[in-house]
Amino acid sequence: MRDVLAAWRPVIDREIERLLPREIDVEYVARAFGEPTYEYDPVAIQRALPDPIWNLLDRGGKRWRAVVCCLLIDGFGADPHEYLPYACIPEILHNGTIIVDDVEDGATMRRGEAALHREAGTDVALNAGNAMYFLPLNIVAHNPGDLDAEIRLAIYEMLMYELNRTHLGQGMDIHWHNEQAIRMSETQYLEMCACKTGCLGRIVARLAALITDQSDETERCAARYAERMSIAFQIGDDILDIENADEDGGAFGKAVGNDIREGKKTLMAIHAANEASPERAARLEELLWADENSDDEIREAIEILRETDSVAYARERALELAGEARDALRELDIDDEIADDLAEFTRFVIERDV
């Protein structure tokens, strides 16, 4: 799987750079956004959009969402290189959500460096992050691949539907973060993930299906595959925060126990609150609710998660979701080699160590 990512990532990065150039001028702005009513300031636009956007993009990221979209397009019998701009849409959206999420979470680190809002300012970060929600619509408007009007309309409608649900998920997550009690159920947590993270995965799959004019049933199966895989990815991401992040940020790019410091109600925390004694559950809530945590308090919270086997439980649930993704994949009529690569992604999102 790492070989597949390594082969595709430079292709995706070149396409993103073509769509969102590092350096812009008045001609590019007019071409991308329309002629000005009076006069654009290209210097201001450069500092407000390309600079912060590429600040984040240059830090890394595996681009797996774009790669999965390309593999699905290929599996559906079309040339993914012809539709690369569309495959970049979920990657641009994903990075936009990262910028906004970090502001909302009060995050300090992202991909081994200071979170963008701490480096560029909250105003610049929010504007850039929000712009990345809308820039993909320009891609559809410019119609690369010469898609039929009906397909383009279906893509617009799909993006609006999925992005609205993304904000439902983020809204639930924010509200839980602002409550001390761990009162949400596991199914509510999974629904939050299905909206917040899963909808981006669904965009990946639905784009591939719509572009290649697949049946509604094929689109649903592909969306289910990507959604379940994305939820497994989110759970795996939370597990990595506990298990593999080190004191200095390390390769994973976060401080140790970053989710605990931010007070996130992860699946592990929900499971631990249900399985621990009332006293230990209350202590976990107290630690997650604290404005700041010492290293000893972080270790104490992790110990509560471990003594209730909550890390192991979360891993098992992630594996189950990955299995559900593979079940959906088996219902798709695609080339065996491509199906194997797509199935391997469901393992990679859990078993990765960075």
Residue 130 CB neighbours (<10 A): 13
Look at the domain 2-351 and name its fold.
Answer: Farnesyl Diphosphate Synthase (1.10.600)
Residue 145 · residue 139 · CB < 8 Å: no
List the domain boundaries for the chain.
2-351
Regarding pTM above 0.85, the answer is yes
State residue 245's pLDDT score. Answer: 42
Q: CA-to-CA distance for 98 and 89, rounded, in angstroms?
A: 14
The answer to whether 239 touches 268, Cβ cutoff 8 Å, is yes
**Segments of the chain with pLDDT less than 50:** 245-254
291, amino acid identity: D
pLDDT digits (tens, 9 = 90+) for 229-270: 999 999 999 998 888 643 444 443 445 578 888 889 999 999
Residue 162, CA distances (Å) to 40, 41, 134, 251 in order:
32, 33, 13, 31
* CA Rg value for the chain: 21
Backbone angles phi, psi at 267, to 5 degrees: -60, -35
Distance set, CA 296 to CA 144, 246, 263, 270, 308 (Å): 54, 14, 16, 21, 19
- Given this model, what pLDDT does residue 258 score? 80
Give the pLDDT confidence of 98-130 residue by residue, as tens digits: 999 999 988 888 988 999 999 999 999 999 999
- Do 70 and 87 touch, CB atoms closer than 8 A? yes
pLDDT at 261: 85
pLDDT at 46: 97
Residue 354 confidence (pLDDT): 64
pLDDT on residue 61:
86
